[in-house]
Homo-oligomer: A and B are copies of this chain.
Amino acid sequence: MQPRFEVLASHGAARRGRLTTAHGVIETPAFMPVGTYGTVKAMTPEELEALGAQIVLGNTFHLMLRPGPDIIAAHGGLHGFMHWRRPILTDSGGFQVFSLESLRKITEEGVRFRSPIDGAEVWLAPEDSMDVQLALRSDIAMALDDCTPYPATEVEARESMERSMRWAARSHAHYYAHEPPGGLFGIVQGGTHGALRLASLESLLRLDWPGLAVGGLAVGEPEEERLRVLEELVPHMPADRPRYLMGVGLPRDLIQGVLRGIDLFDCVIPTRHARNGHLFVRGGVINIRNGAYARDLEPIDPSCACYTCRHYTRAYLRHLDRCHEILGSRLATIHNLHFYLNLMRAVRASLADGTFEAFAAAFGGPGGAAADPVA
């Protein structure tokens, strides 16, 4: 089914909403944990549900290389393959191909690249990305885009954006020609150039999309640039469609996004940081590898209600990390995902009761706390 969106409450640009898909409802603003290879690293689906994850993201690029779309399709799609019964969003592969740099060649038709797994030559056109996402049977698929690097001149950014728009139209035509299991989101490109962003949006809106994403951010640009793009672009995006800021970010980036009207976020930061021993606490991050925690009998955060903080000390977590124990990655991932998902629950509650601006200011607004320091 096509995802349906309704706005339940607004507070300035920020919205409290509800996105309904064939596999269930996503209360927004929402953070989507990333499950690159059909698993949110270190976690079972039941654990994700218990933490309050409403939707997970799968990476088309990775899954088309391993295990390949046929094997996933034989399981009835990604839900059956990974035993996740709630909604799934898949990206298009565009961002990962963009990240390969020297291994790829972009043409009007599509992208040719060498597999980082085995060096084999792989071809990805908008139609291929749609075929893979249709095989995965994701609830929300993404159009294939040409992700503009930062920095890019106005000419470079325009050329890239216009290619993305032609690929978006091809993605749309191919996806909806196949009785899709979900809906396709378009992606606004245009780099940090406000006029190009608006042109990209205008181009996309010639077609019908159940949701729109802002792509090409969090690729190295300063925070002010990113926020300016959002401020120039988001007010023009249709208010009745969900808005997804791709690949963002740190906790404060999520708050800043919500303040500017974003509804959906995804990022590998909570799970990747966890495996590197970086644990989120109110006001920052602690590095559990720091020797200062060797004899620390406190939990990561004494005010945190997650499983890890209820049962384990910093000293134990540091010990597990030093010994490269799998349980260390598990406990850290549980804590960091709880931090993100709990933050979004608090954001939704404050939007519902009209206290979001105070909540955001206390968390650290544009003039507030800097990027999370590592203690």
Looking at A214-222, A243-251, A316-324, A347-355, the stretch in contact with chain B turns out to be A316-324
If the complex has contacts A74-B295, A75-B297, A319-B66, are A325 and B44 also in contact, measured as CB distance less than 8 A?
no
Q: Which residues in B have their C-beta under 8 angstroms from that of A295?
A: 70-71, 74
Q: Which residues in B have their C-beta under 8 angstroms from that of A297?
A: 74-75
A325 touches B74 (CB 8 A): no
Give the shortest distance, in Å, between A135 (CB) and chain B (any CB): 14
If the complex has contacts A325-B39, A325-B41, A326-B330, are A313 and B75 also in contact, measured as CB distance less than 8 A?
yes
A83 touches B312 (CB 8 A): yes
Q: Which residues in B have their C-beta under 8 angstroms from that of A316?
A: 38, 75, 81-83
The copy count of this chain in the complex is: 2
Does any Cβ of B come within 8 Å of A42's Cβ? yes
Q: In the complex, A313→B70 CA distance in Å?
A: 15
Give the shortest distance, in Å, between A196 (CB) and chain B (any CB): 37
Q: In the complex, A67→B38 CA distance in Å?
A: 35
- Most B-side CB within 10 Å, residue of A37, A44, A325, A327: A327
Q: Which residues in B have their C-beta under 8 angstroms from that of A320?
A: 37-39
If the complex has contacts A71-B315, A313-B75, A315-B75, are A323 and B66 also in contact, measured as CB distance less than 8 A?
yes
- Most B-side CB within 10 Å, residue of A66, A82, A319, A330: A319
B322 touches A44 (CB 8 A): no
Residue interface bits A34-49, CB-to-B below 8 A is 1, else 0: 0001110111100000
Q: Which residues in B have their C-beta under 8 angstroms from that of A71?
A: 294-295, 315, 319
Q: Which residues in B have their C-beta under 8 angstroms from that of A294?
A: 67, 71
Interface residues of A (CB under 8 A from B): 37-39, 41-44, 66-67, 70-71, 74-75, 81-83, 294-295, 297, 311-313, 315-316, 318-320, 322-323, 325-327, 329-330
Q: In the complex, A71→B323 CA distance in Å?
A: 15
If A42-B327, A70-B295 are given as contacts, then 4 extra A-B residue pairs at C-beta distance below 8 Å, sorted by A number, are A39-B325, A43-B327, A67-B318, A75-B313
A42 touches B74 (CB 8 A): no
Question: What is the chain B residue whose CB lies nearest that of A43?
Answer: B327
Q: In the complex, A327→B33 CA distance in Å?
A: 15
Q: Which residues in B have their C-beta under 8 angstroms from that of A313?
A: 75, 81
A41 touches B322 (CB 8 A): no
Give the shortest distance, in Å, between A278 (CB) and chain B (any CB): 17
Q: In the complex, A295→B74 CA distance in Å?
A: 8
A326 touches B37 (CB 8 A): no
Question: What is the chain B residue whose CB lies nearest that of A67?
Answer: B319
Q: In the complex, A42→B331 CA distance in Å?
A: 10
- Partner of A42 from the list B37, B67, B315, B326 (CB cut-off 8 Å) is B326
Q: In the complex, A150→B76 CA distance in Å?
A: 54
Q: Which residues in B have their C-beta under 8 angstroms from that of A67?
A: 294, 315, 318-319, 322
Q: In the complex, A92→B82 CA distance in Å?
A: 42
Q: In the complex, A326→B333 CA distance in Å?
A: 11
4 tightest A-B contacts by CB?
A: A42-B326, A67-B319, A39-B327, A83-B311
Question: What is the chain B residue whose CB lies nearest that of A275?
Answer: B326
A41 touches B327 (CB 8 A): yes
Q: In the complex, A43→B39 CA distance in Å?
A: 17
Give the shortest distance, in Å, between A77 (CB) and chain B (any CB): 13
Q: Which residues in B have their C-beta under 8 angstroms from that of A319?
A: 37-38, 66-67, 71
